[in-house]
Structure 1
Amino acid sequence: MTVDLDRAVEAILMVADEPQSPVSIATALDTPVATVRKAIERLVADYDGVSEGAIERGFELREIGGGWRVYVRAAYDDLVNEFVHTNNPSKLSQAALETLSVIAYKQPISRGMIASIRAVNVDSVVRTLLGRGLITEVTTDGETGAILYGTTDLLLSHLGINSLDELPPISPLLDDGAKGFDGDLR
């Protein structure tokens, strides 16, 4: 079966929840990195509407921290934000609440660190929390390039607090006051 390279790169980027480097995409597709870079350039031009016959899409490819990821085009941020908040059920699963708690107390924190603390895969939960606007990408780790997450003002609003300093101390809730955490606790 012959696969269209541009569509294959596009498919990988559509499901990736972290920026993907051209090297990782090339490895996954068993294709030279230079060929993948050209495919990414064509996709960027296509999505931006600069390719012949193309129209600007509601999403774009952005290079972040040495990798590429699909994002909502800035012009549609408010519309998508409103859609997500009005069309998603307001209840969170137990897994989402646990993950949100880890992020609130440990931010900024990477997905890998969250998974290490919770001892489960948190990819879909983090996507849900991002989609609901309860967490956001704060920065990237200078050493690893991992995206670091933090909570948003929307979460504070839902909790009815003005700052994270108003969160209850976590220590009384844990046997030894530090189980699953390291460093300074609130």
Structure 2
Amino acid sequence: MTTKIEQKAIIEGLLFVVGDEGLESKQAADILQIEVAEADELIQEMKEEYQSEARGIEIVEIAGAFQFTTKAKHISYYERFVESPTTSSLSQAALETLAIIAYKQPITRAEIEDIRGVKTEKPIQTLSSKQLVKEVGRAEGTGRAILYGTTRDFLEYFGLRALEDLPSLPEQSGEESIEAEADLFFENFQDVINTDDKEEGN
């Protein structure tokens, strides 16, 4: 039998793992093997605990699911971080994620991770903070996962008039691996970046 402290620790870990997909009280209850009312009570207590001045994040409820988010009163510091020279450029992980979103949108984080083969929570957060991608809806089915798409800023950032300006992807054979598909996305997307850089240099 797990203690209340341990149950909260497990929920905290689950909130970290699920990221912006969110965690429903029923999901937490099923995993902890407790009643939904008990899970909801634990999460509500945790929400209050995270209101402490010593915490930089809080728990919020969005569309019936709970998730971690930064506190609004600290936003100026986050903006300073995003605008700093060390974070002005996009990492390869962010570019690969952005390429997949650009070609496959609307797409869920889980679908992006299936293609890349690694977690993409941080790259998506980076792209969202730079306003290159945004939430464009919710997928059908259990969990109603968030769907991501590119923004107008994305087009302006890479000098594109429309998504149709992205280079076309050649037909893929059924035997090609997901890793090869991800590489193809990135290579084609990199062509756009390189072309844009050359035009800026002229």
TM-score (norm 1): 0.70
* Deviation of 1:101 (Å): 1.3
Partner of 1:43: 46
Partner of 1:61: 59
* Deviation of 1:13 (Å): 1.3
Q: Which of 167, 175, 184 does residue 171 from structure 2 map onto?
A: 175
1:137 correspondence with 2:132:
no
Q: Which of 110, 117, 123 does residue 121 from structure 1 map onto?
A: 117
**Could you say if the C-alpha distance between residues 66 and 114 of structure 1 is closer, same or farther in structure 2, counting changes exceeding 3 Å?**
same
Does structure 1 retain, via aligned residues, the 8 Å contact 2:22–2:66? Answer: yes
5+ residue gaps, structure 1, are 49-53, 181-186
Alpha-carbon separation, structure 1, partners of 2:146 and 2:32:
24
Alpha-carbon separation, structure 2, partners of 1:59 and 1:105:
33
Question: For residue 175 of structure 1, what is the amino acid of its counterpart?
Answer: E
For 1:39-118, what aligned pairs fall within 5 Å after superposition? 39-48=42-51, 54-55=52-53, 57-86=55-84, 87-88=86-87, 90-93=89-92, 95-116=93-114, 118=115
Alignment deviations for residues 12-60 of structure 1 (CA, whole Å, 9 cap, x no partner): 2133222011122222223322111001111222223xxxxx4484422
Does structure 2 retain, via aligned residues, the 8 Å contact 1:99–1:122? Answer: no
Alpha-carbon separation, structure 2, partners of 1:80 and 1:154:
19
- More helix as a share of residues: 2
Partner of 2:10: 8
What percentage of aligned pairs have identical amino acids?
32
Partner of 1:159: 158
Alpha-carbon separation, structure 1, partners of 2:9 and 2:70:
19
Question: For residue 146 of structure 1, what is the amino acid of its counterpart?
Answer: A
Question: For residue 139 of structure 2, what is the amino acid of its counterpart?
Answer: D
Partner of 2:36: 33
- Tell me the SS of whatever aligns to 1:7: helix
- Tell me the SS of whatever aligns to 1:62: strand
Count of aligned pairs between the two proteins: 167
**Could you say if the C-alpha distance between residues 19 and 164 of structure 1 is closer, same or farther in structure 2, counting changes exceeding 3 Å?**
farther
Alpha-carbon separation, structure 1, partners of 2:38 and 2:61:
17
Does structure 2 retain, via aligned residues, the 8 Å contact 1:46–1:55? Answer: no
Partner of 2:192: none
5+ residue gaps, structure 2, are 182-202
Does structure 2 retain, via aligned residues, the 8 Å contact 1:104–1:164? Answer: no
Alpha-carbon separation, structure 2, partners of 1:167 and 1:40:
46
Alignment deviations for residues 109-166 of structure 1 (CA, whole Å, 9 cap, x no partner): 11233345x2x4343x3422322434333332244401111224553443234x5436
- Tell me the SS of whatever aligns to 1:16: helix
Question: For residue 44 of structure 1, what is the amino acid of its counterpart?
Answer: K
Does structure 2 retain, via aligned residues, the 8 Å contact 1:156–1:164? Answer: yes
- Tell me the SS of whatever aligns to 2:59: strand
